[in-house]
A and B are shown apart, each in its own frame.
Chain A
Amino acid sequence: MPSEKMLMRGAHVVGEAAVRAGCRYYFGYPITPQNELPEYLSSRLLEVGGTFIQAESEIASINMVIGASVSGGRVMTSSSSPGISLKQEGISYLCGQELPAVIVNMMRGGPGLGNIAPSQADYFQATRGGGHGDYRLLVLAPASNQELAEVTFDAFDLADKYRNPVMILGDGLMGQMMEPVIFRDPIDPKELPPKDYILDGCKGREPRAVFSMLLDPPTLYQHNMKLQKKYEEITAREVRYETYQVNDAELILVAYGTASRIAKGAVNRLRREGFRVGLFRPVTLWPYPKEALRTLARGGAKIGVFELSVGQMVEDVLMSVGSTSEVYLHGIPGGPIPTPADVAQFALSVLKGDGLVGRKVEI
């Protein structure tokens, strides 16, 4: 039976949802602002007979993830921006070896050590790669504690379904925020369908080898084309987004995660004042909900992108709408967090065409 409504911190929500989704292995290395997640799991995994290791580095932890995944365990790691940079080598190997894993990035300001304020500046890294090679991660960007619980649960299923790592992209604010949440029923990982590629000793079968080195050029070509086919399948099937007040909108704000909550506040404020403004919120950042946004843009609305980075997601928006709509950007690097009033000003500036807040962007 589903749990009672509970008031919880975002980072704990991810931990609890992971355990309920059958995750029994966690490997990580501390970095603010996501430490509450490993701290929660360090005790919670003990209760369910799982394994928690505080590794010596992010590099070690992502490689422990490789080991646990190739052994068939549901496994997770988490970090924040500089730590995710270190995990990129392992993420590329997970993709090359087609191993499932869930990776949480509670982003902070960068580049370098930056700061621990909420940021969305790892958008390119998450959606375009960051590690080497032609690969993609499924990237999920929740905007509330309830949704954190949902996407964490789904992330494990998606990772298994496609044999691909899935990234949950949040930020420091999402990790700290207290909100009510209702969890899904826990599953027993022992009842998950068996996997036919895992390593558990070759008793009664031929030995298996899991590797990504394919020296023969045609073989690597074929492997990559197979991966691309998988990515196409994910793109066709797994796109998620939310729309809010878009039907009659003259201006559609596009924002995800924390930024979308601020943008929603701005929409509510402007609607009260009679302005026809709506919100488009991608939940999957890869695959990006291109078609849905394109269809909306054909209605003739202007598009106003608001992101906590100086202009990363806006490129996906431009690729979605092409020259159908005018696109404006209000991009803020890690640091001061704009309020709904600031975003409302940006929206008004776009509607009035005075150019005072944000700027017009073109392909």
Chain B
Amino acid sequence: MSSTALKKLFSRPESLKPNMTHYCPGCGHSVAHRLVAELLDEMGLREKTIGVAPVGCAVLAYNYFNFDMVEAPHGRALAVATGIKRVHPDKFVLTYQGDGDLAAIGTAETIHAANRGEKISTIFINNAIYGMTGGQMAPTTTVGLVATTTPGGRDPDRDGAPIDISQMLAVCQRTVYIERCALTSVKNIQKAKRAIKKSFLVQLNNLGFSLVELLSPCPTNWKMNPSDAWKWTESILTKTYPLGVIKDTSGLGDVR
């Protein structure tokens, strides 16, 4: 008896289209896409998911995600998602947003959707910079970080302090679950996957708003190679944005 059958150990999730992404080498967006797609497959959600793409480097997310998607104006993803969820309360609604999108132009939409307790899961990619437009300062840019619009490094007196959106949202009564993870080591990526899964479960259990912040490397605009960008994310960015659960009133316990 011949046993030539091969066992498949790793493959592209169905929730990802077989398209090459435009993301730079070492960018966190591609890792985050993969995590979201794996989970939607594993949880059997692909066919009931409606995703909202942001403006920013992930603006083309609908070219990569293999489920229903709409593109929102810059920052308004959570308002668009609110309209979707109110029409389809039984569907799974996801926004995927960068820091410029979610924490600058869309601050109001973000805070108020969270405060209404919209039953939506938000993936928040914090790379401390505006990637798509070429490396300008973001509200999350850390003190001293050089961006194209902070030539001498971010100066709080001139540019304001880095904004911690997750902490701000935790104060809103109707947010249920907020966790900050980092897309760096394998261990951290696995942690991020568990956090995203929990956020999905919060929505599936109709509990309210949840957000997972992912500290994410932007090697291109930080002007680092991918491995230095990983290291910088883990050792420096986490000083301004410490990792961990920021709020959890879900009662769901540990998610595996």
Least distance between A100 CB and chain B CB atoms (Å): 13
CA distance A204 to B60 in the complex (A): 24
| Interface 1/0 per residue, A245-272 and B, CB below 8 Å | 0000000000000000000000000000
Q: How many residues of A contact B (CB 8 A)?
A: 39
- The B70-96 residues at the A interface (CB cut-off 8 A) are 70-73, 76, 79-88, 91-92
Taking the complex as formed, is A143 at the interface, i.e. its CB lies under 8 A from any CB of chain B? no
Residues in B whose Cβ lies below 8 Å from that of A280: none
Tell whether B143 is near chain A: CB-to-CB under 8 Å.
no
Q: Mark B130-150, 1 if CB is under 8 A from A, else 0.
A: 000000000000000000000
Whether the pair A210, B71 counts as a contact (CB closer than 8 A) is yes
Q: What chain B residues lie within 8 Å of A236 (beta carbons)?
A: none
Considering only CB atoms, which chain A residue lies closest to B62 in the complex?
Answer: A209
Whether the pair B91, A70 counts as a contact (CB closer than 8 A) is no
**A105 located at the interface, meaning its Cβ lies under 8 Å from any Cβ of chain B in the complex:** no
Per-position contact with B for A60-80: 1 when CB-CB < 8 Å, else 0? 110111111111110100000
B116: which A residues are within 8 A, CB to CB? Answer: 53
- Which one, B27-35, B45-53, B225-233, is touching chain A? B45-53
Encode contact with B along A23-48: 1 for CB under 8 Å, 0 otherwise: 00101000000000000000000000
Q: State the CA gap A55–B112 with chains docked (Å).
A: 8
Does B220 belong to the interface (CB within 8 Å)? no
- Flag if A25 contacts B83 (CB, 8 Å): yes
Q: Is the CB of B70 within 8 A of A67?
A: yes
B-side contacts of A202, CB under 8 Å: 46-47, 49, 66-68
Question: Do A89 and B70 have beta carbons less than 8 Å apart?
Answer: no
Residue B104 is within 8 A (CB to CB) of chain A in the complex: no
User: Could you mark each residue 96-120 of chain B with 1 if its beta carbon is under 8 Å from any beta carbon of chain A, else 0?
Assistant: 0000000000001101100010000
Within the assembled complex, what's the spacing in Å between the Cα atoms of A199 and B63?
A: 16
CB-defined contacts of B112 to chain A, threshold 8 Å? 55-56, 60
Across the interface, do A211 and B108 meet the contact criterion of CB distance under 8 Å? no
The listed residue (B47, B69, B83) touching A63 by CB distance below 8 A is B83
Q: Does A51 contact B (CB under 8 A)?
A: yes
A312 to B: closest C-beta gap in Å: 27
The interface residues of chain A lying within 8 Å CB-to-CB of B39 are none
A204 nearest CB across to chain B (Å): 8
- Cβ-defined contact, B79 with A199, below 8 A: no
9 contacts between A and B (CB under 8 A): A25-B86, A59-B108, A60-B76, A66-B80, A73-B87, A201-B49, A201-B50, A211-B69, A213-B60
Which 10 pairs between the two chains have the least Cβ-Cβ distance?
A67-B83, A63-B79, A71-B87, A211-B71, A209-B62, A68-B83, A64-B83, A63-B76, A56-B112, A203-B47
